[in-house]
């Protein structure tokens, strides 16, 4: 079978020399192990950080020669483990490999009726991230105004839809008119195309009474404009700063003075700290699904080779929905 390993750390964007495809021999299963034929890989913004050797992060970088770290979905094709029976679909850390042998660590069985796309998007890691940031970190109430950056993306679109369903006034920011139109169709009260709109003027128009919550997925110029308009006791959940992932100098942060003046709270979080709560998080997401309030989009690339440069689409806004590779 084939897998993609890290050949060298990129200096800027991931390029042709970053990854290499290698062939591996299948090994026989031991007791308690099972074999997965992987069918889908998830491409995620965090991948650029995982191939950066110099940054201290919440997770160590991928080593040269190692299979690229990735979430994925596949089918159990051989099993010595009754918790992962033959034919079941599993989801978790597969890496960029067509086949893995596992004893179960980091892999869970996907419930029947859940597609690979759904397992990697709204009901998978992005949906869970959205839930933690929205329900735990922000904890807003109906009628409040929430701004979501990266609103048309895998995480952002779930935040937006939960907030709409809960009766908040939701303003979504995205980088194209097409993405903004989708956000409108989901029920966003206001949309900002951060590339073409006057962000400050748009916020004044859409949030005349100020902003109570900010779900930050991107950083960039929106951040300071939202921060300047936060209300007393506003909450800011910092989920991602994709605008900075290739920049040696991050977007300058606004002065902390508004945190004092508005008695506001800002909190960063990572989903990795909450993986022991998967059951509770899925329970939290389910009512939105069951009520038909969570739509999701996936953007599927075909074939193993498409992963190598496909990741860059995330940093250029070329994906419309959760970016996935179908093997
Ligand atoms: P998305 O599906 O949102 O894809 C990334 C999007 O980011 C692009 O489509 C693009 O949308 C936007 N983007 C890219 N560059 C810029 C830029 N310079 N300025 C503004 N927007 C930009 O990805 P995810 O939903 O998977 O991830 C969203 C964020 O959440 C990322 O920052 C990611 O790192 C973070 N994240 C954090 C986790 C955590 O545990 N804290 C877990 C998962 C994700 P557009 O066309 O609108 O510009």
Kindly tell me if the per-residue pLDDT of 143 is higher than 90: yes
Query: With pLDDT > 70 as the criterion, what percentage of the chain qualifies?
Result: 100
- Overall average pLDDT of the 126-149 stretch: 98
- Residue 248 has a pLDDT of 79
pLDDT at 221 exceeding the cut of 90 = yes
Residue 33's pLDDT band, with cuts at 50, 70 and 90, is very high
pLDDT at site 252: 86
pLDDT band at 308 (very low <50, low <70, confident <90, very high): very high
Span of 126-130, 264-268, 290-294 with lowest mean pLDDT: 290-294
Mutation test residue for ligand 1: of 317, 321, 323, the one with most atoms within 8 Å of CB: 317
pLDDT of residue 132: 98
What number is the average pLDDT over the span 314-327? 97
pLDDT digits (tens, 9 = 90+) for 173-192: 999 999 999 999 999 999 99
Query: What's the whole-number mean pLDDT along residues 241-248?
Result: 91
What is the best residue among 42, 240, 266, 322 to mutate for testing ligand 1's pocket, by most ligand atoms within 8 Å of CB? 240
66-94 exposure pattern, b = at least 16 Cβ within 10 A, e = fewer = ebbbbbbbbbbeebeeeebeeebbbbbeb
Q: What are the pLDDT digits (tens) for 63-107?
A: 999 999 999 999 999 999 999 999 999 999 999 999 999 999 989
Q: Mean pLDDT across the chain, nearest whole number?
A: 96
What's the CATH fold of domain 125-272? Rossmann fold (3.40.50)
Please check the confidence at residue 233 and state whether its pLDDT lies above 80. Answer: yes
- What interface predicted TM-score (ipTM) does this complex get? 0.99
* Distance between Cα 165 and ligand 1 center (Å): 22
Average pLDDT over residues 108-120: 94
Domain 2-121+297-326 identical in fold to domain 125-272: no
**Residue 242 CB less than 6 A away from ligand 1:** yes
Q: Where are the domains of the chain?
A: 2-121+297-326, 125-272
- pLDDT for 45-75, tens place per residue? 999 999 999 777 888 999 999 999 999 999 9
Per-residue pLDDT, 56: 75
Predicted pLDDT of residue 1? 98
- Provide the pLDDT for residue 222: 97
Atom of ligand 1 nearest to the CA of 243: 18
Distance in Å, CA 81 to ligand 1 centroid: 37
CATH topology of domain 2-121+297-326: Quinone Oxidoreductase; Chain A, domain 1 (3.90.180)
Which residue CA neighbors atom 39 of ligand 1 most closely?
Answer: 270
What's the whole-number mean pLDDT along residues 186-214?
98
Dist. CA 323 → ligand 1 center (Å): 11
Among residues 149, 144, 199, 198, which one has the least CA distance to residue 174? 149
3-state secondary structure the chain: CEEEEECCCCCCCCCCCCEEEEECCCCCCCCCCEEEEEEEEECCCCHHHHCCCCCCCCCCCCCCCCECCCEEEEEEEEECCCCCCCCCEEEEECCCECEEEECCCCEEECCCCCCHHHHHCCCCHHHHHHHHHHHHHHCCCCCCEEEECCCCCHHHHHHHHHHHHCCCEEEEEECCHHHHHHHHHHCCCEEEECCCCCHHHHHHHHCCCCEEEEEECCCCHHHHHHHCCEEEEEEEEECCCHHHCCCCCCCCCCCCHHHHHCCCEEEECCHHHHHHHHHHHHHHHHHHHHCCCCCCCEEEEECCCHHHHHCHHHHHCCCCCEEEEEC
For the question of whether the overall pTM of this predicted structure is more than 0.90, the answer is yes
- What pLDDT is attached to residue 148? 98
235 lines ligand 1 (CB under 6 A): no
pLDDT (mean) for 292-301: 95
Model confidence at 232: pLDDT above 80: yes
pLDDT of residue 58: 83
């Amino acid at each position: 079978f084939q897998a993609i390993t890290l050949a060298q750390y990129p200096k800027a964007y991931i390029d042709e020399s970053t990854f290499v495809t290698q062939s591996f021999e299948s090994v026989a299963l031991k007791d308690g192990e099972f074999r997965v034929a992987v069918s889908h890989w998830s491409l995620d913004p965090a991948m650029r950080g995982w191939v950066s050797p110099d940054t201290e992060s919440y997770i160590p970088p991928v080593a040269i020669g190692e299979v690229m770290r990735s979430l994925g979905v596949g089918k159990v094709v051989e099993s010595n483990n009754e918790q992962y029976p033959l034919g079941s679909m599993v989801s978790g850390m597969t890496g960029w490999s067509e086949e893995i042998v596992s004893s179960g660590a980091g892999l869970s069985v996907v419930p029947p009726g859940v597609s690979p796309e759904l397992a990697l998007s709204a009901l998978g890691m992005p949906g869970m991230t959205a839930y933690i940031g929205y329900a735990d970190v922000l904890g807003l109430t109906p009628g409040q105004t929430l701004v979501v950056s990266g609103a048309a993306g895998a995480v952002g679109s779930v935040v937006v839809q939960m907030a709409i369903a809960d009766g908040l006034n939701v303003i979504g920011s995205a980088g194209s008119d097409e993405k903004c139109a989708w956000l409108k169709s989901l029920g966003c009260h206001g949309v900002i195309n951060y590339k073409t709109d006057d962000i400050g003027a748009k916020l004044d128009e859409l949030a005349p009474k100020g902003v109570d919550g900010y779900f930050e997925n991107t950083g960039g110029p929106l951040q300071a404009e939202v921060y300047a308009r936060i209300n007393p006791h506003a909450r800011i959940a910092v989920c991602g700063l994709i605008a900075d992932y290739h920049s040696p100098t991050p977007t300058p942060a606004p002065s902390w003075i508004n945190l004092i003046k508005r008695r506001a709270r800002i909190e960063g979080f990572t989903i990795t700290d909450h993986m022991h709560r998967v059951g509770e998080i899925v329970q939290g997401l389910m009512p939105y699904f069951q009520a038909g309030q969570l739509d999701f989009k996936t953007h599927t690339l075909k074939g193993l080779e498409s992963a190598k440069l496909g990741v860059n689409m995330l940093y250029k806004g070329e994906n419309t929905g959760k970016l996935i590779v179908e093997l």
